[in-house]
């Protein structure tokens, strides 16, 4: 959720494309710094820098940064060291740790690189972090962002992006989202090529600064382990296991990446042996991340089982039995077990609240395009005035669709949207009781809620004689806690063929420093 004021998996922001198209002309020929080949592009280097600079501010606004100057300086210093040995050392590079629990890292054209605290929790050394940063630097040095903008424009993606950006609250713009996905499907193969090239460049940059390039293998293994854990967790909960990298599959599988990077890293490592490489910096890295928030932070709100608590916003919500909670940077989603219905909670933008003087009917009309329908006055949480609308809406393109949404006056003068979404009319009808149940659970924080809203943090401890099984008895983690602790410490296995032996080789010794969550 927003803050109160407001495998390495690349999540390219759509506003980057919009900024790039505004800056680009008809295209020009440039030399690729990595390949040496000439390519036709909509973004030369000045346009890359301008687009990245503009999008950087949006990234900071959307995610926020970890409020730890020492950690930010540590990551920036390591990134600058790698960038100085890259194919585009002359760029003004910026490295930022984002306040997000997502296991993610990405880069913008022009030299802007981001890692989340989520991915940092699962890395085990400075060399691993260098591998992540090197991979992202590789995207920039090889001009992957500029290439993708050019390819998307040729695929006709600009119109779809404009449609997505045109939404005031972003509920129900299915036409724009589907158009964007179809266009992205035409260029998915470029994503695969780019990821593999960035892996190879990351290993090369590691070697240039004297980290063992085989640490890139460790980085991809982290992503592979996350994939395996997600499947095991789904099985334990009785859900279908996630399939590969998602329905679009725009990136190579982590198996492919592991196979490819092992060969590249071994060639770069050569026969010099361990003496040829610097210390992997494990102790420095663990010291740098100790105390880092784990999972949701106070500023984003925290999920505890079926409960969601957001202390800065002063609100709480309970998911129906069997429903799942997904807490994103700009919205909270309560999804049915079948994934065919959801309640989405968002803050109504302050400018819209001011423009409409907080009038619920005006917010529905001007913010969501509500037209004909029925309204129902509600009181949520014993004291919060709300209006439920069931009817039709007209989007920016003049297309008419259904709208089921509630506007509610929250604490401290903030106004919230609770939107009902479903795959079809039948799914909506089936989920109606649970959607109303979830909606009616919206409430101001109670004293008990505030106690439960304490965020979790990483802590360093010596491995006890009882190993991860002993640690699991004291952690607040509830979803396969022993396996989560193994995942945090690079010793995960899911019981598959050969995996137990591999995990045993990485099993921390008694007394060795390990990460826990408290």
Which domains, ranges and CATH numbers included, belong to the chain? 14-167+176-236+243-271 (no CATH), 302-451 (3.40.1000.10), 465-517 (no CATH)
User: For position 351, what pLDDT does the model report?
Assistant: 94
Which of 329, 409, 347, 401 shows the shortest CA–CA distance to 377? Answer: 409
DSSP code of 65?
Answer: B
Question: Model pTM?
Answer: 0.78
**How many residues comprise the chain?**
518
Helix (H) or strand (E) holding 114: strand 112-116
pLDDT (0 to 100) of residue 252: 56
Burial of 31 (0-12, 13-18, 19+ CB in 10 A): exposed
Rg of the chain in Å (alpha carbons):
24
Q: Please report the pLDDT score of residue 239 as a whole number.
A: 75
Predicted local confidence at residue 40, as pLDDT: 84
Sheet holding 105-108, edge to edge: 94-98, 112-116, 105-108
**Helix/strand/coil for 25:** coil
| CA-wise closest residue to 52 among 98, 83, 19 | 19
Give the separation between CA 400 and CA 363, rounded to whole angstroms: 18
pLDDT in tens, the chain (518 residues): 655 433 344 344 445 555 555 555 557 889 999 889 998 888 889 989 998 999 899 889 888 999 999 999 999 999 999 999 999 999 999 999 999 988 889 998 999 999 999 999 999 999 999 999 999 999 999 998 888 877 766 655 443 332 222 233 433 332 233 333 333 443 344 477 888 898 889 989 998 999 988 888 888 888 888 888 888 888 887 877 665 543 233 455 666 776 777 777 677 766 555 556 778 999 999 999 999 999 988 888 999 999 999 999 999 999 999 999 998 878 899 999 988 999 999 999 999 999 999 999 999 999 999 999 999 999 999 999 999 999 999 887 888 889 999 999 999 999 999 999 998 999 999 999 999 999 999 999 999 999 989 989 999 999 999 999 999 999 999 889 999 999 999 998 654 444 444 455 578 999 999 999 99
- pLDDT attached to residue 254: 60
* Per-residue model confidence (pLDDT) at position 115: 95
Per DSSP bridges, beta strands 94-98 and 112-116 are parallel
Helices marked H in 27-169: 45-63, 69-83, 117-122, 126-141, 144-154, 157-165
Q: How far apart are CA 127 and CA 116, in angstroms?
A: 16
Which pair of tokens denotes residue 165? Answer: 């950006």
Q: Which residues contact 447 (CB under 8 A, 6 or more apart)?
A: none
- Quote the tokens at residue 343: 């309640």
477 by DSSP, 3-state: which?
coil
C-alpha 352/C-alpha 370 separation (Å) is 15
d(C-alpha 157, C-alpha 187), whole Å: 11
What's CA 11's distance to the chain center, in Å? 7
């Amino acid at each position: 959720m927003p803050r109160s004021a407001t495998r390495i998996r690349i999540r390219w922001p759509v506003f980057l494309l919009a900024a790039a198209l505004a800056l680009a002309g008809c295209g020009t020929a440039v030399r690729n710094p990595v390949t040496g080949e000439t390519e036709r592009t909509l973004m030369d280097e000045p346009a890359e820098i301008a687009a990245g600079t503009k999008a950087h501010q949006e990234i900071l606004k959307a995610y926020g940064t970890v409020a730890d100057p020492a950690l930010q300086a540590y990551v920036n210093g390591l990134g600058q060291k790698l960038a100085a040995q890259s194919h585009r050392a002359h760029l003004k590079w910026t490295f930022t740790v984002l306040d997000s629990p997502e296991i993610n890292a990405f880069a913008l054209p022009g030299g802007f690189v981001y890692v989340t605290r989520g991915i940092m929790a699962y890395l085990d050394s400075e060399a691993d972090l260098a591998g992540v940063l090197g991979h992202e630097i590789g995207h920039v040095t090889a001009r992957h962002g500029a290439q993708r903008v050019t390819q998307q424009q040729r695929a006709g993606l600009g119109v779809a992006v404009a449609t997505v950006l045109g939404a005031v609250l972003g509920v129900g713009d299915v036409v724009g989202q589907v158009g964007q996905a179809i266009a992205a499907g035409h260029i998915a193969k470029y994503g695969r090529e780019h990821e593999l090239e960035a892996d190879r460049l990351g290993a090369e940059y590691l070697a240039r600064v004297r980290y063992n390039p085989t640490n890139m293998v460790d980085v991809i293994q982290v992503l592979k382990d996350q994939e395996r854990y997600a499947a095991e967790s789904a099985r334990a909960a009785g859900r279908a296991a996630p399939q590969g990298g998602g329905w679009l599959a725009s990136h190579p599988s982590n198996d492919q990446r592991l196979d490819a990077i092992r060969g590249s890293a071994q060639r770069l490592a050569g026969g010099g042996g361990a003496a040829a490489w610097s210390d992997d910096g494990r102790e420095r890295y663990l010291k740098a991340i100790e105390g880092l928030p784990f999972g949701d932070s106070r500023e984003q709100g925290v999920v505890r089982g079926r409960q969601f608590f957001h202390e800065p916003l002063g609100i709480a919500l309970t998911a129906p039995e069997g429903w799942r909670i997904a807490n994103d940077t700009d919205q909270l989603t309560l999804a049915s077990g079948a994934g065919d219905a959801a309640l989405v909670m968002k803050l109504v933008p302050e400018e819209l609240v001011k423009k409409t003087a907080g009038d619920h009917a005006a917010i529905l009309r001007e913010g969501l395009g509500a037209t004909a329908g029925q309204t129902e006055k509600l009181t949520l949480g014993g004291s919060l005035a709300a209006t439920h609308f069931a009817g039709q809406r007209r989007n920016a393109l003049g297309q008419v669709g259904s709208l089921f949404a509630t506007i509610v006056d929250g604490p401290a003068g903030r106004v919230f949207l609770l939107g009902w979404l479903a795959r079809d009319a039948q799914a909506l009808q089936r989920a109606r009781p649970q959607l109303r149940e979830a909606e009616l659970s919206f409430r101001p924080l109670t004293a008990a809620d505030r106690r439960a809203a304490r965020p979790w943090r990483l802590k360093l401890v010596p491995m006890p004689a009882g190993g991860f099984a002993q640690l699991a008895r004291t952690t607040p983690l509830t979803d396969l806690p022993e396996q989560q602790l193994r995942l945090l410490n690079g010793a995960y296995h899911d019981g598959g063929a050969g995996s137990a032996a591999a995990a045993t080789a990485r099993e921390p010794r008694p007394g060795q420093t390990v990460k826990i969550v408290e």
